[in-house]
Homo-oligomer: A and B are copies of this chain.
Amino acid sequence: MTFTAQIDIMPLKELLDPQGKAVMGGLTRLGLGQITDVRIGKHITLQLEAADREAALQQAEDACRKLLANPVMEYFEVHIVE
């Protein structure tokens, strides 16, 4: 079966996000001052073949741990979609 894994990889909450701060400054200058915080990470979609949903989730998490996410600075969230 084919599954799609929707993965969000974000900077750890306790870390400063300089990229986010820079974008927030830009948004404020564009007149969007109601935005009080910006955090920027990666959104990755994986198409994968797996026996079932559990196996698909396992593979996606494996990909995150082995390559996609840097555990020192990032956390990841995986959602499996059929």
A residues at B contact (CB < 8 Å)? 2, 8-10, 23, 26-27, 30, 32, 34-50, 59, 62-63, 66-68
Inter-chain CA distance A49–B34, complex, in Å, is 5
- A interface majority secondary structure: strand
10 interchain pairs, CB-CB under 8 A: A10-B43, A23-B67, A27-B63, A30-B66, A32-B66, A35-B59, A36-B49, A37-B45, A37-B47, A42-B43
Q: Copies per complex?
A: 2
Q: With A26-B67, A67-B27, A68-B23 as given contacts, are A38 and B34 in contact (CB-CB < 8 Å)?
A: no
Nearest 9 A/B pairs, CB to CB:
A37-B47, A43-B43, A8-B43, A34-B49, A35-B48, A41-B43, A36-B47, A39-B45, A30-B66
